[in-house]
Every structure is written in C-alpha cells, then in structure tokens.
C-alpha cells in the first residue's frame, strides 16, 4: 500500500453519517436471520407440525431472497441506493407487524407469508447495502470499508439468537409436544389418554417382539442394544400406566412450582456449562428427586397428572371395563420390569425367557386396550372439548410470545424508515458512475454466464447458505432428540457456535494474508466435512461438539465465495452480486429436505442403526463437499488460467 493510499480516509468525513446509517442495516438483517432459525422448533411444538412442515419457515424466509434479489438489483441500478434501502426497510417493518394478526388468527400460512415479505425486504437491503458502502469513498479503501460494515452483522445475529433463547423459547408454555398431541387427539378423535398411551406401549412391545424373534439376536451388538432400549422404554411406560405413586403427583407438582425460579440467564449459562462438561450436573432438589423416582422425570409427572384427571371419568363411564383395564395395567408391570433387568450390565440373558416375558406384556397390553375401547365415551364429550380449549389457549399464548419481539422490531423499523428517508442523501459520490445512464442487462447477463468462476461461485454459495442454515436450525432438534436437552439450552449452544463463528472470522481473515482465498476455502470446507461426519456418527456430547465446531469452518465461507465470484467483474458486479444474494435461497430448498429426513424412522446401516436426526446431516456434508470442490477448482484451475 502506497503512502498516498494510507492517507486516504476509509470513510470521507462528509459521508460519515451516511456510512453509519447504512452500517446499521447489517445487524438488522443479522437479527432477522438468527431469531428465525430456532422458530422452526418453536412452531413445530406450538402448532404440532412435522419437522418438514415446520421447516417451511425457512423455505418462506429464504424464498424471499430468491424471489426479490434480481428485481432489487435492477431497481437500485435504475433508481438509487436510498430508494432501495427505504423500500427494504418498509417491507421488513410491514412483515414484522404482520406477526400480530398472524398470532391472533393462529394461522401458520400467515406467518409464512410474513416471513416471505420480510426477506423480500431484506433482499433489497442486502443487495443495496454492500455496493452502497463500496460507493462511499475512494475505490482503494472500498474493501476495508465493507469489512468494517460487515463486522457489525454478527452482532445482530447474536442478539437475535439471544432473544430467541431467553425471551421466546424459555418463555413458552412448558407443556410438552407429546402432551399437546394427546390433547389434540382427545379433541379431534375422542381417544382417551390411557388408550393413546397403551397404543404407544403396544407399538414398543411389538417392535421388541420383532427384534427378539430374530435368530441369535442376543449375539448381535446392534440388536441387543435396540432390545435394551425398547425394554427400558416399555418398563417406564407400563410403570406409569399403573403408578403406585399416582396420588402423590399433585403434591410433587406443587413442590416443584414452589421452588425459587432463580436467574434464567445464570441458569442458561450453567446448563451450557454442563453440556460442555466444564461443570458437574447440579444435584436435584428434594422435589426433583421425588419427581424422578416416582414419575421417571418431567414427562412422567405430566402424564400422571393427565391420567389422574381422566381415570375417574373413565371409571364413571364404564366401571366394569375400567376395572378390567386396571387389572391388565397392573399385570404388565412386573414382566416388563423383569425384562428390562436382563439388559443391565453383568446380567445374564435367557433369550427364551425374554421372549416369554415379551409375549406376556403383549398379551396384557392388548387385553387392556380391548377393555378401554369398550368403555362408552358419550358422557366424555365435555372432557374432550375441554382438552381442545386448553390446547388452543396454550397455543395462542405461545404465539403471542413468538410474535412480540417481531412486533417490537416492526415498530422500531418504522422510526428507522423515517430516519433514513430524512437523512440519507438522494445520491452518493460514485453511485452509478460507470452506468453511463444505461442498464445493459443483456450484455451483463451474457458476460456473467460466460464466467465459470462466477457461475460456480453462485452454485457454491447456494450450497453454503443451505449448509449454514441447516446446521444452525437443526442444532435445536439434534440437542433435544439425541441428548435430551431443552430447546432453550440447545439454542444457547447455537449462541456459542455463533461466538466461535465470529472469533474464527478474525483468525481466517489473518490467514488470508498468507493463504490464497481458494486454498483457504478448500481447507475450511475439508474441516467442515470432518466435523459434519462426526456429527453424524459420533455418539453423545462429542457429536454435538462437532456440530458446534462446524461454525468455525463456516466463518469466512460466505465472503470468500462472494469475493472469488465477483473478482474482476467491474460494473457487472452489481448484477452479479444479486445472483449471489439470490443464492441465499438455497436455504429455502435444503432445510425442508432435512426436515423430511428427520421425520423418517431410524435408518439401518447394517453395522449400526442411525437416528434420523443424525442421518439428516448428510445434506450439509454434501454441501461442504461442493464448496471444497469450488475452492480446489478456484485454486488449481481458475487461478492458474488467470495467471497464464
């Protein structure tokens, strides 16, 4: 860098206010992106959706980028950056305010429309802000100016994650998704909770019978493990159906509710520390210990309270049938418990005896089901309708919690729109200076399509954004389904991943002084491939650590691909950058695909059974392979062609 270039200010004094205002946009869209990722899990629980259905949040969110990126680029190319910013902010504000009627109507399609409109606005902002910042001063300081503005984007992302974790996920009603689905089944089909639970236990024992029916199953590590897991679930399920401590449920619940709440921020930090194994898991309080001993944890207590409420109603509706069902519940407990003891360490396993116990439990549960199905339910209509009313109340309150931060952001953005319309200059120095008053869309498109580095860059960016959104969205499902973490704790692990992401960005920026961008991209993608493989195959917390660690490798991928693809394009970069913003739409395609995989049953690989949530991360794995290939081609092919 020459002495003359060193003396040039990164931001000219006369444009400092404009620079500050436009830089505010970077954390604003970072906030929107990362408050939305965990909403996939929130909507699934609140509205009782499948993983595929709930992932449509991301399809709508990132679909806005795909829909509006090119129109936004053409708009600012014809008019001005200021008008692009104002339109983007107005759409962003409108979408946030739409959350209020969406929540009141309990309409998932309306929420999806809100997200689509939101990112149509964000597409205007992202397509506008980057070249706007570049135009604010001398060309020699443009890269430093853009890097300075982009440094504020992760700050908005961290705030968005924090709000999602502390003020949304942690504040939602504690009723589990399983209990909510049981309430929905009560309301829609009039199926008593007892019968729903019996059906679930019959499915478990039937699966166990299938395993134990395989010749020499006990000699297979995979089948032995599966049988042990099924028998443990069967023991707990039958125990809760005939729980001798059922009468203690109300007093235990009252004791738990009477416990001091404590500081939720401190509790969140301690929970993450436990996950990271840097502190021991706290000892349960007396009330928590009693809950765990009597009811096998939170879900068992919740279920017992529901069964206690229903039992006298069923007994009144059909006294004889109910007494028969109770007898079969009781007779299923002992054989289920004896079966589970066969799988504890150092226990001897008699395969014939195990099969006989399985058959006994099957017989008792099926007999209980027959008795329950013969109980007349005509007198239970008020009970069924009450469950639906309770569920609706919970859902409305939860949707209000989800909507509030967005609504507040919408109100704030109205003020921002007014400020920007008032203070942003109509034109800035350097804006459209190379346009010569013409659009030349056809010529620009032809030149871009003839540039393999650019076209491959758009493809790589599509796969990168898909990988990033999948890793940050489904870390919540991974933590809750594989490790039993609360959704709030799993989201706090996502905040940790973002902190690693930001820190790694500085390290990788330093490394770019010594390593070419193509080579660095290949190295980062290779590291992501290894860590994603660990996420899929490594059990326990180590698999979660791998998923968190992927963020370190993703930190510089977006700007690196962006820079490689636009390098040397000149004024074509304005429309070219829109193509790379359009690539953000990769999140709208790949996230629902991963959700669909998570909805599938476990996948049998022959040497082990792989939970569907683990198997779903094969999609980010493929994405990182594509990125590694682009980095290698940039370094070994495109770069060499340019040098020649």
Residue 517 Rama label (left phi>0; alpha psi -120 to 50; beta): alpha
Query: Do 365 and 234 touch, CB atoms closer than 8 A?
Result: no
Tokens linked to 388: 């639906």
Give the chain's residues under pLDDT 70. 1-7, 139-144, 147, 426-440, 570-571, 573-574, 637-644
Q: What distance in Å separates the CA atoms of residue 80 and residue 73, rounded to the nearest whole number? A: 10
Domains recognised in the chain with CATH numbers: 1-176+395-436 (1.20.1250.20), 191-376 (no CATH), 440-644 (1.20.1250.20)
Between the two ends of the chain, the Cα-to-Cα distance in Å is 25
Tokens linked to 248: 């203690």
Q: pLDDT, tens digit, for every residue of 539-579?
A: 999 999 999 999 999 988 887 887 788 777 766 766 777 78
What pLDDT, on a 0 to 100 scale, did the predictor assign at position 417? 93
List all residues 6 or more positions away from 635 whose beta carbon is below 8 Å from its beta carbon.
Answer: 516, 518, 519, 521, 522
Q: How far is CA 350 from CA 222, 337, 342, 359, in A?
A: 18, 15, 8, 14
Q: What distance in Å separates the CA atoms of residue 437 and residue 435, rounded to the nearest whole number? A: 5
Residue 59 Rama label (left phi>0; alpha psi -120 to 50; beta): alpha
Q: How far is CA 112 from the centre of its chain?
A: 16
Q: pLDDT, tens digit, for every residue of 43-81?
A: 999 999 999 999 999 899 988 888 888 888 888 777 788
List all residues 6 or more positions away from 86 whose beta carbon is below 8 Å from its beta carbon.
Answer: 417, 420, 421, 424
DSSP structural state of residue 430: T
What pLDDT, on a 0 to 100 scale, did the predictor assign at position 642? 47
Q: What distance in Å separates the CA atoms of residue 428 and residue 19, rounded to the nearest whole number? A: 10
Burial of 292 (0-12, 13-18, 19+ CB in 10 A): middle
Q: What distance in Å separates the CA atoms of residue 262 and residue 551, rounded to the nearest whole number? A: 31
Query: Do 454 and 448 touch, CB atoms closer than 8 A?
Result: yes
List all residues 6 or more positions away from 424 whose beta carbon is below 8 Å from its beta carbon.
Answer: 18, 21, 22, 82, 85, 86
What pLDDT, on a 0 to 100 scale, did the predictor assign at position 437? 47
Query: Do 299 and 264 touch, CB atoms closer than 8 A?
Result: no
What pLDDT, on a 0 to 100 scale, did the predictor assign at position 302? 96
| Element of type H or E holding 239 | helix 221-241
Q: What distance in Å separates the CA atoms of residue 240 and residue 301, rounded to the nearest whole number? A: 9
Q: pLDDT, tens digit, for every residue of 306-327?
A: 999 999 999 999 999 999 999 9
List all residues 6 or more positions away from 203 whose beta carbon is below 8 Å from its beta carbon.
Answer: none
What pLDDT, on a 0 to 100 scale, did the predictor assign at position 326? 95
What pLDDT, on a 0 to 100 scale, did the predictor assign at position 593? 92
List all residues 6 or more positions away from 196 whose beta carbon is below 8 Å from its beta carbon.
Answer: 182, 185
List all residues 6 or more positions away from 216 whose beta carbon is below 8 Å from its beta carbon.
Answer: none
pTM of the model: 0.85
Query: Do 561 and 524 touch, CB atoms closer than 8 A?
Result: no
- What string of H, E and C letters represents the secondary structure of 121-144? HHHHHHHHHHHHHHCCCCHHHHHH
Residue written as token pair 């004094």 = 13
């Amino acid at each position: 860098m020459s002495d003359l270039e060193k003396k040039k200010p990164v931001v000219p004094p006369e444009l400092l206010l404009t620079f500050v205002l436009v830089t505010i946009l970077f954390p604003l869209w970072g906030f929107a992106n990362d408050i939305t990722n965990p909403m996939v899990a929130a909507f699934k629980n609140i509205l009782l959706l499948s993983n595929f259905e709930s992932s449509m949040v991301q399809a709508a969110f990132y679909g806005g980028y795909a829909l509006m990126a090119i129109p936004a680029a053409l708009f600012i190319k014809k008019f001005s950056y200021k008008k692009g910013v104002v339109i983007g902010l107005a759409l962003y504000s409108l979408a946030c305010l739409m959350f209020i009627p969406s929540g009141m109507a309990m309409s998932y399609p309306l929420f999806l429309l809100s997200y689509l409109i939101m990112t149509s606005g964000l597409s205007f902002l992202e397509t506008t802000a980057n070249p706007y910042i570049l135009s604010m001063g001398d060309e020699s300081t443009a890269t430093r100016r853009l890097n300075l503005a982009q440094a504020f984007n992760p700050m908005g992302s961290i705030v968005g994650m924090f709000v999602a974790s502390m003020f949304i996920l942690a504040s939602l009603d504690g009723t589990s998704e399983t209990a909510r689905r049981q309430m929905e089944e009560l309301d829609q089909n009039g199926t008593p909770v007892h019968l729903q639970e019996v059906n679930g236990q019959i499915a478990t024992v039937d699966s166990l019978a299938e395993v134990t029916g395989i010749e020499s199953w006990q000699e297979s590590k995979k089948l032995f493990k599966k049988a042990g897991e099924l028998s443990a679930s069967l023991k707990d399920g039958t125990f809760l159906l005939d729980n001798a401590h059922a009468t203690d449920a109300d007093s235990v619940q009252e004791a738990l509710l009477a416990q001091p709440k404590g500081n939720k921020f401190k509790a969140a930090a301690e929970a993450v520390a436990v996950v990271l194994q840097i502190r021991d898991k706290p000892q349960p309080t007396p009330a928590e210990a009693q809950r765990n001993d009597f009811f096998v944890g939170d879900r068992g207590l919740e279920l017992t309270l529901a069964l206690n409420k229903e039992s006298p109603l069923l007994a009144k509706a059909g006294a004889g049938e109910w007494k028969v069902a109770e007898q079969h519940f009781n007779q299923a407990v002992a054989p289920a418990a004896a079966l589970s003891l066969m799988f504890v360490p150092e226990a001897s396993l008699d395969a014939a005896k195990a099969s006989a116990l399985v058959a006994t439990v099957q017989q008792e549960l099926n007999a209980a089901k027959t008795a329950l199905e013969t109980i007349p339910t005509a007198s239970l209509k008020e009970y069924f309708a009450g469950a639906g009313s309770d569920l609706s109340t919970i859902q409305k309150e939860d949707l209000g919690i989800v909507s509030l931060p967005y609504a507040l952001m919408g109100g704030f953005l109205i003020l921002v729109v007014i400020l920007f319309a008032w203070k942003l200059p109509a034109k800035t120095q350097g804006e459209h200076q190379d346009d010569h008053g013409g659009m030349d869309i056809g010529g620009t498109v032809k030149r871009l399509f003839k540039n393999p580095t650019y076209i491959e860059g758009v493809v790589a960016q599509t796969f990168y954004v898909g990988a990033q959104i999948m890793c940050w969205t489904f870390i919540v499902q991974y933590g809750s389904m594989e490790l039993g973490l609360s959704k709030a704790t799993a989201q706090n692990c996502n905040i940790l991943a973002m902190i690693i992401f930001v820190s790694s960005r500085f390290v990788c920026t330093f490394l770019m002084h010594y390593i070419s961008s193509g080579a660095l991209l290949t190295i980062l993608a290779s590291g992501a491939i290894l860590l994603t493989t660990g996420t899929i195959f490594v059990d326990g917390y180590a698999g979660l650590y791998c998923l968190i660690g992927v963020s370190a490798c993703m930190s510089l991928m977006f700007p690196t691909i962006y820079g490689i693809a636009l390098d040397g394009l000149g004024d074509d970069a304005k429309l070219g950058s829109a193509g790379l913003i359009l690539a953000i739409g990769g999140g709208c395609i790949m996230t629902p695909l991963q959700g669909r995989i998570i909805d599938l049953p476990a996948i049998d690989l022959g040497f082990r059974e792989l939970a569907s949530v683990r198997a779903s991360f094969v999609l980010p794995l493929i994405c990182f392979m594509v990125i590694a290939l682009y980095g290698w081609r940039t370094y070994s092919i495109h770069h060499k062609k340019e040098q020649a």
